[in-house]
Amino acid sequence: MDHNFLQKPVNLYLSAEHECSYLPDRQANSLFVDPELEMTADVYSELIQHGFRRSGGHVYTPYCQKCHDCIPIRLNVQKFVLSRSQKRCNNKNKLITAHTKESIYDKDHYQMYSDYVTSRHPGGGMDEPDNDKYLDFLTSDWSNTTFFEFRENEHLVSVAVTDIVEDGLSAVYTFFEPSPEYQKRSLGVFSILWQIEEARNRGLKWLYLGYWIKNCQKMSYKNNYQPLEYFYNHAWQNTPPAQTLG
């Protein structure tokens, strides 16, 4: 299978069917970009505009035979307006400072990542963090990836792994201090709000937020950031599809 929306055709390969990570009792497939393709940040910048994402160095998009619920989304940061609760979140975290770090191994980052996935994803397969696979999951050899590090009074509280693409930023993964004290601070929300402002400051238009799934509770938070665009029927749309289940 190939797609020719790029300057030259790209071979795509369908994965084997596997258990869906988001919706119970469903099976999923993904389309993967040919791993032999010489991937670059520029090529990925084109692919993300067509609904693709990366996990490590693998670039993919959901392609399930009987379900079409995973919808790529992006936020127009230039039109985004803070809600009252988002303003309160920023105010609660006004002493936090951001620092730009290279996408290389940092023992403090890894320890926080390990604590985070162990506490937030018990029994989900991610709660057994692996030091060797940590960067393989978050980074790649070809992506323009930055670790935005957030500190309060020198104390590390959060890290946002972010790809810089041609027309925006792409939120890859965020992990933060899992202690009860910081759980009340909505650090995940703060991270997105900060990335929105960072995209604006860079003169970019979009913050790519991965996939939105209407009936998945852990994806519902993305509705709080508007105006979103949704990629389906091979184009970005201003409203989600009326019916996604095939």
Q: What pLDDT is attached to residue 127?
A: 43
* pLDDT tens readout for residues 192-209: 999 999 999 999 999 999
Q: Is residue 24 predicted with pLDDT exceeding 80?
A: yes
Per DSSP, the three-state class of 162 is: strand
* pLDDT tens readout for residues 236-245: 999 998 754 4
- Mean pLDDT across 26-50: 94
Q: What pLDDT is attached to residue 246?
A: 40
> What's the farthest any 2 CA atoms get from each other in the chain?
52
Q: What pLDDT is attached to residue 179?
A: 86
- The phi and psi torsions of 13 (rounded to 5 degrees) equal -125, 135
Q: What pLDDT is attached to residue 71?
A: 95
Q: What pLDDT is attached to residue 128?
A: 56
Q: What pLDDT is attached to residue 1?
A: 45
Distance separating alpha carbons of residues 237 and 174, to the nearest angstrom: 26
* pLDDT tens readout for residues 1-18: 445 556 667 899 999 998
Q: What pLDDT is attached to residue 223?
A: 93
Residue type, 172: V
69 burial class (0-12, 13-18, 19+ CB within 10 angstroms)? buried
Can you list the positions of beta strands (E) in 103-205? 145-152, 155-165, 168-176
Bridge-based pairing of strands 206-212 and 71-76 is antiparallel
Q: What pLDDT is attached to residue 122?
A: 55
* pLDDT tens readout for residues 138-191: 999 999 999 999 999 999 999 999 999 999 999 999 999 988 888 889 999 999
Can you list the positions of beta strands (E) in 23-154? 27-28, 30-33, 53-55, 58-62, 71-76, 96-102, 145-152
More confident residue, 226 or 120: 226
Contact 52, 60 (CB under 8 A): yes
